[in-house]
Structure 1
Amino acid sequence: MDLSNARWRKSTRSGASGGNCVEVADNLPGVVAVRDSKNAAGPALTFTPGSWAAFVARVADRV
């Protein structure tokens, strides 16, 4: 999958020091990509927008 046009963003809850963060790109049609912010050139996981929304909603319920 070509992620070269992905616009990556970190969570607003990420610390200023970088730390253990993930970046999400949700600007691509039909896919949401997630990667480790410390390894930007490394692999990315991809999800359908519906699956990603369900995951985020479930995590929010647990916080």
Structure 2
Amino acid sequence: MNGRQTYEKVRELYPEQKALIASGLAEDSEVTRALELGVCEFIAKPYTLEELGRAMRRVLAR
């Protein structure tokens, strides 16, 4: 099960769940689909703690 599939299952249980995707791959069709489904943010690996913190603040502000 990949991240997008996991997010879909989580949304079945918790429709308002916020999420952030972190991936070592460039934004691909799976990431694009997850964003279309409602994932709030995508952050590419490697990332710094500061970048992660900023992304988390944006997610939580929604």
- TM-score, normalised to structure 1's length? 0.33
- TM-score, normalised to structure 2's length? 0.33
Higher strand proportion (structure 1 or 2): 1
Higher helix proportion (structure 1 or 2): 2
Q: Structure with the greater relative contact order (CA < 8 A, sep ≥ 6): 1 or 2?
A: 2
